Amino acid sequence: MEQISKPAGLASLVIALDGTAGSGKSSASRDVALRLRLRYLDTGAMYRAMTWHLLTQGVDLDDLDAVASSATEAEIVSGTEALRPTITLGGVDVSVEIRSDETTAAVSQVSAVPRVRQLLTALQRSVIGPGGIVVEGRDIGTVVAPDADLKVYLVADPAARAERRVAELTAAHERDVVSVEADLLRRDAFDSTRAAAPLSAASDAVVLDSTYLSLDEVVDEIVRLALERAQS
């Protein structure tokens, strides 16, 4: 992937990329970070790591007090290298475990717990620090980094999102498009209606529909917008 000359303004730029499940946030965010030579943070991986922590500790996810108590004990560290992003829990790499079906089924419930969001939002803000980073998630432009220089809200047709998600799954986790689409819509509905930091586009976000765009086209547009912000 061709990198570009880095305007001085990019050193402190914060790009917030939110959107619906399966809309291509992760791939687009990583590629934008690579193109612009910025750091990259996958906040969804942090919520998945927290979910995995709670599951392995045998915490009853319906017991909000127990979830809040155990969540404070989770030691989650997210690497910000776009080419090889890492996620560790208690110093152990959990990049495979957090993508399990069990974790996926529970992550929306865990991410709706106010104390979990409070803890991880603080952690995310500490990583963002002075900027120079692309941050992807579900509430970056609205809650985590409301002052981000560029906010993009990525959407796509549910069927297109499901097909992309199925294509990403390994042979060990093969699923049909219909069931994946239903799961994506379930997650969107849950995350959009939760009381704590619901999924929504920031009022000043650029809404980008990727249904009929290639990944390169999505990345090109976000890079163009970022360079405009950096040079303004």
78-111 confidence digits (pLDDT tens): 999 999 999 999 999 999 999 999 999 999 899 9
What's the Cα-to-Cα distance from 166 to each of 3, 145, 177, 229, rounded to whole Å? 30, 31, 6, 35
Q: What is the pLDDT of residue 171?
A: 47
Indicate the pTM of the whole model.
0.85
Instruction: Residues 10-231: name the CATH superfamily.
Output: P-loop containing nucleotide triphosphate hydrolases (3.40.50.300)
Domain boundaries, the chain: 10-231
pLDDT at 147 over 80: yes
Percentage of the chain with pLDDT > 70?
85
pLDDT tens-digit readout, 112-141: 999 999 999 999 999 999 999 999 999 999
The 10s digit of each residue's pLDDT in 44-91 is 999 999 999 999 999 999 999 999 999 999 999 999 999 999 999 999
